[in-house]
Amino acid sequence: MLVPVLVGVSVLVFLMLHLTPGDPARLVAGPDATPTQVDEIRHALGLDQPLYRQYYVYMVRLAHGDLGQSIVTHDAVTDELAPRFAATAQLSGAAMLVAIVVGMSFGIISATRQYSVVDNLMSVLSLVGLSTPAYWLGLMLILLFSLHFRWLPAAGAGGIQHLILPTITLAMFAMATVARMTRGSMLDVLNQEFVQTARAKGLRERVVIIRHALKNALIPVITVVGLQVGQLLSGAVLTETVFAWPGIGRFMVDSIQARDFPIVQGGVLLTATTFVVVNLLVDLLYGVVDPRIRYP
């Protein structure tokens, strides 16, 4: 289903962009251009052709790995998107790693100490993480760690120090979601008979939790982690704006405002491809975690 999903995405994005108000040819030509100059630019960009013809040309080029040229900069779309997508992938990957490690750890600890002070504290922290806006958290982290303590840079990209604050900001919502899902899934498994049997055999509690309980509780957690990829890619727009991170999120917003159709189409298609591929990997991972799952 990966191919038809991506084709459907390309059709929807293509149609929505061409139905939005504004004339890309007029934007490229400038406010002082004559109607003749605007028509010439429109013809050069192929915008005077029927929509189905424009879409056909776009898909033929896409099949050859050509996403077209930017209307604004006249550079290849792949050259424009590649470094920015790499920066977003670096930020989103770091955020996802933090969300998985910290969120699952919090969830396991909460489940094994149900209704304790630790469980209640982690539940409160998870709720705070779910309800805290990314832009506000980012600004607070900048005020505290950049302006007050001067430990970390406030903006820009560079070494690991530049990655810490935006990673925490972007990972907060996903981390809270993973923690809550891990806790709920672990509680369901810990009450089942095979866990009680493992404890009755005299196995150490750590072995019971990791080898028996966690392994059987991973399916819902893996599903949530796969869905969080889309959340991280969309949430990166605010995070990249706050920290001046040179990623694809802010670049896409600027391209939409400039009616740069090839850039927007390429960016959305690239993001959709990433999301669909990750969810395909999640589906395949189900069979690895639980051998009883088989696909026809």
Using the predicted structure, report yes or no on whether residue 83 has a pLDDT greater than 80. Answer: yes
Contacts with 119 (C-beta within 8 Å, 6 or more apart), sequence order: 109, 110, 113
Contacts with 294 (C-beta within 8 Å, 6 or more apart), sequence order: 287
Residue 294 confidence (pLDDT): 66
Domain count, the chain: 2
Which CATH number does the domain housing residue 179 bear?
Answer: 1.10.3720.10
Same domain, 143 and 69: no
Is the residue at 44 inside a domain? yes
Same domain, 96 and 235: yes
Same domain, 142 and 222: yes
Mean of pLDDT values over 59-72: 81
Q: If you average pLDDT over every residue of the chain, what do you get?
A: 83
What is the token pair recorded at 201?
A: 């055999």
Cβ atoms 289, 211 nearer than 8 A: no
Mean of pLDDT values over 111-139: 87
The residue segments making up the domain with residue 147 are 86-246
DSSP 152: S
Residue 296 confidence (pLDDT): 57
Mean of pLDDT values over 139-147: 89
Is the residue at 90 inside a domain? yes
| 295 confidence band (pLDDT: 50, 70, 90) | low
Same domain, 214 and 279: no
